[in-house]
Chain A
Amino acid sequence: MTLDLSRISSEVERLAIDAELKSGPGADEALVRAYLDVLDDDLRSRMATARTSWLLARPDGVFRAAAAAREAAGDFAVVASDGSFILPDRHSPARFYLINVGKVLLRYGTEPMAELSAEPTLYYREEELYVPNSVRRVPVNGAVLGLKRSTEELRAVAERAAGLPCPTLALQDGSLILWALESQPDFVLDWVLDPFLETMQRLRQASIPVAGFISAPGSRDVLNTLRVSVCDYPGLGRAVNCDDCRGRIATEGRVPACDVLPDVTDRHLFDRVARLRPGERSQTFASTSKILERYGRDFGIHFFYVHTGTEVARVEVPRWVAEDADLLDWTHAVIYDQCGRGRGYPSALQEAHEMAVVKLEERRAVELLIEQALANHGLTATRSAKDGSKRGRFI
């Protein structure tokens, strides 16, 4: 049965009306006021004692500062990677997964050149299918496989970026903050972070800045900081305390002061309220994500928002890049330049994605290859009945 679009068309209409109401005139009024009212010293002291239930963004300087992009001039290179995978499939006759990392090197300046490649790796050994541990068996699947892919992407980009004869930016698609680690046991954390941080360290030793580029970011760290800024607790002589405040909603019918702020993203804030102009970036902020405690001082992740020419994107860099004003400006310049060349999205990431993607027919080809190899060794490959029913549909 195909999807019956007529059954949802009236809901789609209501969805549009809702969106229109939310974005109508005056919708951002409170947000604009809160944004313009931020006093840097006041915010700093509020944040120093605040106990919030949200993730905050700690500004590295003046909250409302913005900087235009320099021109990316001279000889430079951008190395990017992106990965995709074939997930382990329990309906398959053999247990395996595959990670395909697309790698791109683009050089600009006096000797322009490009190198595009992909590196597929098949994982099937017991110690690859499960995170090694003597007590528990955590299968490498779903979120854990995503984390492994991130470490592989970073490794690939670091390897290719090493030793190039011109300034090089290592670019990653997505966040450098491995959020998915937050719910993982310690041995999984070590298994993921050891190689990840080792690569981060290698990049730092080679003075190659690394940046994570997030298109259409959904994060709200800066918005949450604004909530601290508008909180009425400090005015009452108390430290910001979200648990306390929220607890009093039910008991005292309290209306939290920060409820005046709409539930929007940082992207909305920097696009509609801060009104970054094409090329401009925001102040850098330090992420206060809990997982970053494991990254160590130099590799804590800082981020800024940048207007790429078509949207406001988020760029994440390790602390050692954020603290080096020249390197930060250069990273900003190269990313904006990449977005210009790629119509709003970095060319290097675009091509890395193209190299990484595993098409449906390629997935089938891998399965077939494995089935044939099994057959050659006298092992009859049997797929599950459910899988068979999907492949050979009948009525």
Chain B
Amino acid sequence: MVASSNGRAPARLGEVIETSTVRFWAESDRLNELPPLGSLVRVTLPSGDVVLAVVAFGQTTGIDETRRAIRRGSDAVRDDEVYRQHPELVQILRTTFEALPVAYRHGGTMRRMLPPLPPPLHYSVEAAELEELTELSDDPRYLILLTYAQADVPAEQLVAAHVRETFMARGRDAIWLDGVARVIARIFKDDYDRLVPILESIEP
């Protein structure tokens, strides 16, 4: 695992369980815990390159897809207590999330484009470090990649979620947000109906 610039190992979130050039799925290390929609995650490849991807979807389901979850609680047994009363749930359920690669780092260079190779299966997915997120988002033109993705979440929702997450992580950087709004306006210049809700939702 690559140590970050502050000397700590990046927090592992989960592991790649399905992979491709345009998206990968990861299984969370902990049930019901997953990175927020729009947050940035990283996978370090065997070559040392780092793939950066935006979380585009999350879900918790049975490990065996043919078994559906059923109600376990009642008025007296709710929420976390359900898990205490049914400790096996932690073993038979899993939380997974989908991430869309938007950039990769090769050597010292950050490239805002699809990585040449998908992250290998079973490699660790970590939360991106703040400096990586800052460096990536300094030039927000990569946002267009999110609009190409055939994702379950509508592209404008995904872009808005990612911008919100990044804006907060950057310490509510209003100047940065201004620049991002302009990039988004360019991306959606032909689609006013989609543009307005994005701009409204990223407003500080």
A104-112, A120-128, A147-155, A304-312 - the one binding chain B: A104-112
CA distance A216 to B67 in the complex (A): 22
CB distance from B87 to the nearest CB of A (A): 4
B49-57, B88-96, B123-131, B140-148 - the one binding chain A: B88-96
- A residues 328-348 near B (Cβ < 8 Å) are 341, 343, 347-348
CA distance A113 to B83 in the complex (A): 9
- Residue pair A112, B87 in contact (C-beta under 8 Å): yes
- Residue pair B86, A347 in contact (C-beta under 8 Å): yes
Known: A343-B70, A351-B92, A354-B92. A112 touches B84 (CB 8 A): yes
Identity of the chain A residue whose Cβ is nearest the Cβ of B70 in the assembled complex? A343
For B64, what are the chain A residues with a Cβ–Cβ distance below 8 Å? 354
CB distance from B103 to the nearest CB of A (A): 38
- Residue pair B87, A114 in contact (C-beta under 8 Å): yes
Judge whether B85 is part of the interface by a CB distance below 8 angstroms. yes
Residue of B72, B86, B87, B92 contacting most chain A CB atoms (<10 Å): B87
- Residue pair A107, B87 in contact (C-beta under 8 Å): yes
Q: How many contacts A-B (CB < 8 Å)?
A: 33
For A104, what are the chain B residues with a Cβ–Cβ distance below 8 Å? 88
Q: How many residues of B contact A (CB 8 A)?
A: 14
Identity of the chain A residue whose Cβ is nearest the Cβ of B85 in the assembled complex? A341
- Residue pair B70, A116 in contact (C-beta under 8 Å): no
For B85, what are the chain A residues with a Cβ–Cβ distance below 8 Å? 108, 112, 341
- A residues 204-218 near B (Cβ < 8 Å) are none
For A351, what are the chain B residues with a Cβ–Cβ distance below 8 Å? 88, 91-92
For B84, what are the chain A residues with a Cβ–Cβ distance below 8 Å? 112
CA distance A354 to B72 in the complex (A): 18
Identity of the chain A residue whose Cβ is nearest the Cβ of B86 in the assembled complex? A341
- Residue pair B87, A116 in contact (C-beta under 8 Å): no
CA distance A107 to B83 in the complex (A): 12
CB distance from A191 to the nearest CB of B (A): 34
- Residue pair B88, A347 in contact (C-beta under 8 Å): yes
Which of the residues A115, A116, A343 comes within 8 Å of B92, measured between beta carbons?
A116
- Residue pair B92, A106 in contact (C-beta under 8 Å): no
CA distance A112 to B80 in the complex (A): 12
CB distance from B36 to the nearest CB of A (A): 28
For B91, what are the chain A residues with a Cβ–Cβ distance below 8 Å? 114-116, 351
For A347, what are the chain B residues with a Cβ–Cβ distance below 8 Å? 86, 88
Identity of the chain A residue whose Cβ is nearest the Cβ of B89 in the assembled complex? A114
Residue of B64, B67, B85, B89 contacting most chain A CB atoms (<10 Å): B85
Which of the residues B67, B70, B72, B88 comes within 8 Å of A114, measured between beta carbons?
B88
Q: Mark B70-88, 1 if CB is under 8 A from A, else 0.
A: 1010000000000111111
- A residues 84-133 near B (Cβ < 8 Å) are 104, 106-108, 112-116
CA distance A106 to B72 in the complex (A): 16
CA distance A115 to B88 in the complex (A): 7
CA distance A354 to B65 in the complex (A): 12
CA distance A108 to B89 in the complex (A): 13
Q: Mark B25-50, 1 if CB is under 8 A from A, else 0.
A: 00000000000000000000000000
CB distance from B62 to the nearest CB of A (A): 10
For B70, what are the chain A residues with a Cβ–Cβ distance below 8 Å? 343
CB distance from B197 to the nearest CB of A (A): 44
CA distance A360 to B90 in the complex (A): 26
- Residue pair A108, B87 in contact (C-beta under 8 Å): yes
CB distance from A142 to the nearest CB of B (A): 29
CB distance from A352 to the nearest CB of B (A): 10
CA distance A54 to B72 in the complex (A): 43
For B86, what are the chain A residues with a Cβ–Cβ distance below 8 Å? 341, 347
CA distance A107 to B91 in the complex (A): 13
For A343, what are the chain B residues with a Cβ–Cβ distance below 8 Å? 70
Interface CB pairs A-B, < 8 A, 26: A104-B88, A106-B88, A107-B87, A108-B85, A108-B87, A112-B83, A112-B84, A112-B87, A113-B87, A114-B87, A114-B89, A114-B90, A114-B91, A116-B88, A116-B91, A116-B92, A341-B72, A341-B85, A341-B86, A347-B88, A348-B88, A351-B88, A351-B92, A354-B64, A354-B67, A354-B92
Q: Which A residues are closer than 8 A to B by beta carbons?
A: 104, 106-108, 112-116, 341, 343, 347-348, 351, 354
Known pairs A106-B88, A116-B88; list 13 more (Cβ under 8 Å).
A112-B83, A112-B87, A113-B87, A114-B87, A114-B88, A114-B89, A116-B91, A116-B92, A341-B72, A347-B86, A351-B88, A351-B91, A354-B67
The 10 A-B pairs with the shortest beta carbon distances in the complex, nearest first, are A114-B87, A112-B87, A114-B88, A116-B91, A112-B84, A114-B91, A351-B88, A113-B87, A106-B87, A106-B88
